[in-house]
Structure 1
């Protein structure tokens, strides 16, 4: 039986992809006034955090291209980017495949506890796969709204 959470993850991911649909490579790189990051950063950050929440804390291998932490990790910003960045279409493709891969690889481990609890920057303690994935709904929603806000500014 499919865990209800995977339907929610797929829905939220669909909203993020819808918000970023038809964004050109050039547009994805613009950082409007009052924003710290651009649409490309938000897409990469969503992917990176979801990958960590689903796999890293239970010791599973992540599908994480080189330099993703340097480009899209917490506290990073486009002004500091170096090297060959992934194209926005490549980020969308990674995001499109991620939810199904998470369900396939860890769907049977939802109640499994992590070796150590993790405290989010918002102060929430996470200690099971289900808690990490549930919290990721909030995280992805925040960044999806940021993408929508940047689009309105542009």
Structure 2
């Protein structure tokens, strides 16, 4: 699991650079022909990780219900994310890595409810969910690389 966490930490660092280098207006811009924006992708990977790792382990997620609703799978951005919400997302981006790592090392995760993703991946264990999370975050990072070309 050491490599899985290391990859995840690196991925989250790449997401952090978007938050550090793009204005609120740029984070909210939905380029023509695209269905989302930079900030939605970042919020979405936070929400997805919480669902994949915590909810599927029968544990409470460490995000608000409103954040979950706004960024869950199938949601769409409205282009009006506030700076306050961006700051919350920025904080969660790194905090959830630390929290998950501590929880994993202290044995908080005791069960896992298998899950079939919409893309056809079967996740039967927490380890598989965490590895899939890295794959999922990579997909969204690629989408963000495309979006930034239009900003």
TM-score band by shorter chain is 0.7 to 0.9
Q: Give TM-score, length-normalised by structure 1.
A: 0.86
- Structure 1 residue runs of 5 or longer lacking an equivalent are none
Q: Give TM-score, length-normalised by structure 2.
A: 0.87
Residue in 2 aligned with 1:44? 43
Matched, 1:11 2:1: no
The runs of 4+ residues in structure 1 deviating greater than 3 Å are 83-86, 107-113
Equivalent residue in structure 2 for 1:100, among 98, 101, 119: 98
Give, in whole Å, the separation in 1 of the partners of 2:150 and 2:79: 22
- Structure 2 residue runs of 5 or longer lacking an equivalent are none
Matched, 1:71 2:109: no
Give, in whole Å, the separation in 2 of the partners of 1:52 and 1:73: 9
Instruction: Confirm or deny: 8 A CA contact 2:38 2:144 kept in the other structure.
Output: yes
For this pair of structures, how many residues does the alignment match? 151
Cα offset, 1:150, TM superposition: 0.9
The RMSD of aligned alpha carbons is 2.5
Residue in 1 aligned with 2:120? 123
Structure with greater strand share of residues: 1
Q: Please state whether the residue corresponding to 2:112 is helix, strand or coil.
A: strand
Residue in 1 aligned with 2:130? 133
Q: Please state whether the residue corresponding to 2:137 is helix, strand or coil.
A: helix
